[in-house]
Amino acid sequence: MLLNEFLFLAAFLFCVGVYGALARKNAVLVLMSIELILNAVNINLVAFAAYGHLIAGQVFALFVVAIAAAEVGVGLAIVLLIYRNRHSVDLTSVNSMKG
């Protein structure tokens, strides 16, 4: 198989995730888009691990999975706090620090 097959798929997932993170205004959907981005990076890491017979790529992908879990935990806690204070998770209305 070509290495580029995996890299193109990962690039596509990354771009879809960037679109979702920019265009969505429900905070939970933005978190889902960030998961897409992190998965795209993980595909790249594992593909290069297979390309070069390096185990380090897989270990790094495991670290990314652990950090993604931590990110979702803290992110959802923040979303819950926003919901409790404003009774909505609309990110376009969270602008009290806008200059």
Partner 1 sequence: MILAATQHLDVAQNIVFGLVSLSMVVAAIRVVTTDNVVHAALYLVVVLAGVAVDYVLLAAEFIAVVQILVYIGAIVVLLLFGTMLTRAPIGKSADLDNDQRWAAAVVSLFLLGVLGWALNDAWGSDRLPPAQVQRTADVGNSIFQTFVIPFEVVSILLLAALVGAVVIARRD
Where on the chain is the footprint of partner 1 (CB under 8 A)?
Answer: 1-9, 11-20, 22-29, 31-33, 35-36, 39, 42-43, 46-47, 49-51, 53, 55-56, 58-59, 61-63, 65-74, 76-81, 83-84, 89-92
Q: What is the DSSP letter of 87?
A: S
Q: What is the DSSP letter of 90?
A: B
Which residue lies nearer to partner 1 by CB, 65 or 97?
A: 65
Give least dist CB 61 to partner 1, A.
5
Do residues 24 and 33 touch, judged by C-beta distance below 8 A?
yes
Helix axes 56-86, 27-52, angle to 10 degrees: 180
Give least dist CB 4 to partner 1, A.
5
Give least dist CB 73 to partner 1, A.
4
Which residue lies nearer to partner 1 by CB, 90 or 99?
A: 90
- Which residue has 């993980």 as its token pair? 42
Give least dist CB 96 to partner 1, A.
17
Q: What is the DSSP letter of 91?
A: G
Q: How far apart are CA 12 and CA 15, in angstroms?
A: 5
